[in-house]
Structures are given as C-alpha cells and as structure tokens.
Amino acid sequence: MPIYDYHCTSCGSRFERLVRGTATVTCTCGSGAVERLMSLTARPAASAPVGQTPAPAPAAGGCCGGGCRSHSH
C-alpha cells in the first residue's frame, strides 16, 4: 500500500498516511483540509532538512574543489 505525505492546511502539520483506495484523509487535528505531497521516495534530496543529509563531498569530480591547478576559470 502506498504511503503518502500530507500537509494540513488547517494546522500546518505534516504527516504520513497509508492510503487505501479513496479513503478520505484527515489530519490529526480533525481537519480534512489536507493536500497530498510527493511520495517519500520521490522527494528530492535537496529539500531534505539540513542535518539529515550528509554534506556533499568537496572537490566533487576531482576538479575545482580548491586544489585544481591544471586550468583556469
């Protein structure tokens, strides 16, 4: 069963919910004013909160990371 991310436009909370068929999703605050967000697996890594994603390694690709002197830019 798919798990979706939901955002409650009433209280602003965000939660995940198993969705079965056309079941109506309501927030824990009781509001039905929720909007479905992209699935967890499809969420871009760039939108992950800081601290949960390892910092990108410097000098990615082995060029222009500070130690590249083979050519100028």
Task: Say if residues 5 and 39 touch (Cβ distance below 8 Å).
Answer: yes
Question: DSSP readout, 2-57?
Answer: -EEEEEETTT--EEEEE--TTPPP--TTS---EEE---GGGS-GGGSPTTTSPPPP
- Candidates 22-30, 38-46, 47-55, 58-66; binding stretch for Zn ion (CB under 5 A): 22-30
Specify the residue, 13 or 25, whose C-beta has the smaller distance to Zn ion: 13
Mark residues 31-60: x for contact with Zn ion by CB under 5 A, - for none: x-----------------------------
**Contact between 10 and Zn ion (CB under 5 A)?**
yes
**List of residues contacting Zn ion (CB under 5 A):** 8, 10-11, 13, 27, 29, 31
